[in-house]
Copies of this chain bind each other. A is one copy, B any other.
Amino acid sequence: MRQTFDETTDPSFGPRHLPLIRRAMADQGLDALLVPHEDEHQNEYLPAANDRLGWATGFTGSAGAAVIFQDKAAIFVDGRYTLQVRDQVDQATFEIRDLVDGGVTAYLEEAARPGQAIGYDPKLHSPDALQRLKAAAGKAGAELKPVPVNPLDAAWGEARPAQPTAPVVPQPLEYAGEDSSAKRRRVGEALAAQGAKAAVLTAPASVAWLFNIRGGDVIRSPLPLGQAILAADGTARLFLDPRKVTQDLPAWLGNEVRLETPDDLPRALAELKGQTVLVDPAQSSAWYFDTLAQAGAEVLRAEDPCALPRACKNPVEIEGTRRAHARDGAALTRFLHWLATEAQAELPDEITAVRKLEAFREATGALKDLSFDTIAGAAANGAVVHYRPTERLNRRAEAGSLMLIDSGAQYLDGTTDVTRTVAIGEPTAEMKARFTLVLKGHLALARVRFPAGTTGSALDVLARQALWAHGLDYDHGTGHGVGAYLGVHEGPQRISKSPSAVALKAGMILSNEPGYYKEGGYGIRIENLQVVTEPAPIPGGERPMHGFETLTLAPIDRRCIARELLTDEERAQLDAYHARVREVIGPQLEPQARAWLEEATAPI
């Protein structure tokens, strides 16, 4: 099995590890230490060796921060993690605070004392975040100090896991669709147009995309941790731990790419003296800005030049992703069939469900990894938005309730991410009504046509309006970007309430995942991935419009739908979707599952 169900932390982490950290802080004369979730690579998902926040606090969510004073400490999480943090973190040790509302800056203003020295690791903070933190500390009369060695790392010592050294391998052209030299030339031209001679690339996904390579340093995504410097002429220097370099790699990279080690990076940056160098402040830590400034380079703060080209998938990547979804949809449909039939004899617990689903994916023979740990939330566990089942929390499905299963897979040809909420027995009228409101939002966002220039934030309301009309909402974004055999979360595109200036462009893959969560009751989420289509004329219309092609193919549980709440248009849309599911998934299935699918996708 790939997924495990043990807990890698527990609430004793804070009380046990804080004294060690405080001693290491004292050794450096620090009154406080900032502990962000992000690591040196500004990763969302971390290798175990870099999960400093987890080790210090016990909290394992994908975003957060802590501030450790000698006499107090606080942890900061967002709305997704308010339940989880109370479960994982010792509240006698850490005060729990909101990451967004006020956040670390407000805490520093209020908790720091005049003259105090607050340590930070310059490799872990973006320069913009750091500036806000410095201002906040300054208001309290305290000062932020960069640390030469992170006191937390010193305290962690021998117990800290080793840095990952997974092999880095070529991603063949039959999946990547564009060779690296073409990508490098294209991005290099964009650099030149911005007046830059070079760009420092620190986002592992950009490194992977640009050089058509994949790695395994971070669980659940094929990212190679490393950095690169791309010159405007398309040549590049790539910095990888030599232990990760596989035999075929140098030839694959070709002679326009110089392969070097991470130890070479500081000198390589120093060689950029006098040049205009693009660095993305959202992706690269303050260390890069400081190092380049010291070297006498002129830093151009701009978006990672690979981000937008990477987000707009080429036809080969889209076709690969379609294949991945057809394969993945069959595995998921087998699971849903099992859950609706065989599993009814004795209702399964979450871990059994997760294992069953993983086995169906493994049986495809193409599974490289899960794209994240499967969330299977039975009854009230479904209301914990970023729940992960563990032996301790494991819960059995209950008749008269719902089970939420959010899962995905990494295949060589594409990355999937899908959520289905299924009825266990007969759901209540309230469950059905709310499921249907979520479905209405999902369908509205799937069928919208929109002109060039439209942002994801402009479309977000489509997924929420039916819920809003009934006084309901969900506290997470509606859609995130998804990579092609890369991260299951990628930017710059997204669909959310927060204003965004990024227009949706053809080839971008996004999730469409509205939800509803009743704390202590049940959770509902319906998620498909969809790809932005080229602007196309509409009969009788005047302006070509983008649209979405739905990639994910698996039945949406008709037993959860209050049919009378759907309009004719919505019913026809759902039926057409289910007809596609039947057509693409059906032929892959065994007779019993296929018969079940026929029924599960019958017109509503």
Q: A residues bordering B, Cβ < 8 Å? A: 447-451, 453-455, 457-462, 465, 468-473, 497, 499-501, 537-545, 567
Contacts and interface: CB of A to CB of B under 8 A. Distances in A.
Given A458-B460, A458-B461, A461-B458, A471 B540 contact: yes
Contacts of A455: 499
A125 to B, nearest CB: 24
A235 B458 CA distance: 42
A182 B499 CA distance: 34
Given A459-B461, A461-B462, A471 B537 contact: yes
16 contacts: A447-B469, A450-B461, A450-B468, A451-B473, A457-B499, A458-B458, A458-B461, A469-B538, A471-B539, A471-B542, A471-B543, A471-B544, A471-B545, A473-B543, A499-B499, A499-B501
A580 to B, nearest CB: 20
Nearest to A539: B471
A27 to B, nearest CB: 37
Query: Nearest 3 CB-CB pairs, A to B?
Result: A471-B541, A471-B538, A499-B499
- Classify the interface of chain A: helix, strand, loop or mixed: loop
Contacts of A538: 469-471
Given A468-B449, A471-B537, A458 B497 contact: yes
Contact of A465 (B448, B499, B542, B544): B448
A462 B460 contact: no
A542 B460 contact: no
A543 to B, nearest CB: 5
Contacts of A567: 567
Given A458-B458, A461-B462, A469 B497 contact: no
A463 B166 CA distance: 51
Contact of A497 (B454, B470, B537, B545): B454
A485 to B, nearest CB: 32
A543 B458 contact: no
Given A497-B458, A499-B500, A451 B468 contact: yes
A448 B465 CA distance: 7
A41 to B, nearest CB: 29
A462 to B, nearest CB: 6
Contacts of A457: 457-458, 499
Contacts of A545: 468, 471
Contacts of A469: 447-449, 538
Contact of A470 (B447, B453, B468, B540): B540
